[in-house]
Amino acid sequence: MTGNAQRELVITGFGGQGIILTGNILGKAATIHDGRHATMTQSYGPEARGGACSSQVIVSDGEIAFPYVESPQVLVCMSQEGFENNRSTLIPGGMLIWDADLVETHDLDPSWSLHEVPATRFAEELGNKMMANIVMLGFLSALTDLVDPESLKKAMLGSVPPQTKEKNEAAFARGREYGLAILKGKAERGAAAS
């Protein structure tokens, strides 16, 4: 990000997926490791685990006047309900990322940058579907410049239980590799078309 750029991101899912933790990790990466400003607000249904929840993150090079996300540039959906409830908030030209195994998309704005990732499936392959949020963070680190990828990794490793660090690091790496492969494929297709 350059100048006093401000980026807004919403991560949606259901209780138990680590949606709030994901927002906290992004905020820590931005503030503690990148030396920028960030806010994180959260919402979740009264039923907690299993109910709808979201984490709204703002990252900025300058002070943030209003802490609530109004027009996200990035929307990450890890549940169908999260997609349905938040799709209309994504700005034209924004980026939509969704878990390919949990979300069926429809009525998509043609200006959006669209990316599906089998985050839950990757996490299950690594031995714990509860790490799908970390796979998603790795994927996000490859596709956006929201925070420095190394900062994000450091913040993630500092936020998960010590006995899970190795598996979470593998989950982050899996998501990042998948995102970088998608970018490489798009670049190659673009070069072939020109």
Digit-coded pLDDT (tens) for 135-188: 999 999 999 999 999 999 999 999 999 999 999 999 999 999 999 999 888 878
- What residue segments make up the domains of the chain, in order of their start? 6-193
The pLDDT of residue 190 is 76
Is the CB of residue 38 less than 8 Å from the CB of residue 31? yes
The pLDDT of residue 4 is 55
- Mean pLDDT of the 124-130 span: 94
Is the CB of residue 97 less than 8 Å from the CB of residue 76? yes
Distance CA(68)–CA(59), nearest Å, equals 11
The pLDDT of residue 180 is 96
Helices (H) and strands (E) in the chain, counts: 6, 6
- Mean pLDDT of the 8-22 span: 94
Percent of the chain whose pLDDT exceeds 90: 82
Distance CA(169)–CA(156), nearest Å, equals 8
> For residue 50, what are the CA distances in angstroms to 17, 54, 71, 87, 173?
9, 12, 26, 20, 27
The pLDDT of residue 188 is 81
The model's confidence at residue 1, banded by pLDDT at 50, 70 and 90, is very low
Q: What 8-state DSSP symbol labels residue 87? A: G
Digit-coded pLDDT (tens) for 77-116: 999 999 999 999 999 999 999 999 999 999 999 999 999 9
Q: Where are the beta strands (DSSP E) in the chain?
A: 6-14, 37-44, 52-60, 74-77, 95-99, 113-117
Average pLDDT, the chain: 92
Distance CA(148)–CA(152), nearest Å, equals 6
User: Residue 32 is which amino acid?
Assistant: I
**SS3 label, residue 68:** coil
What pTM, to 2 d.p., does this model score? 0.92
Q: Is the pLDDT of residue 2 over 70?
A: no
Domain 6-193, classified CATH 3.40.50.1400, yes or no:
no
The pLDDT of residue 164 is 94
Q: Is the pLDDT of residue 49 over 70?
A: no
Q: Is the pLDDT of residue 3 over 50?
A: no
Is the CB of residue 90 less than 8 Å from the CB of residue 105? no
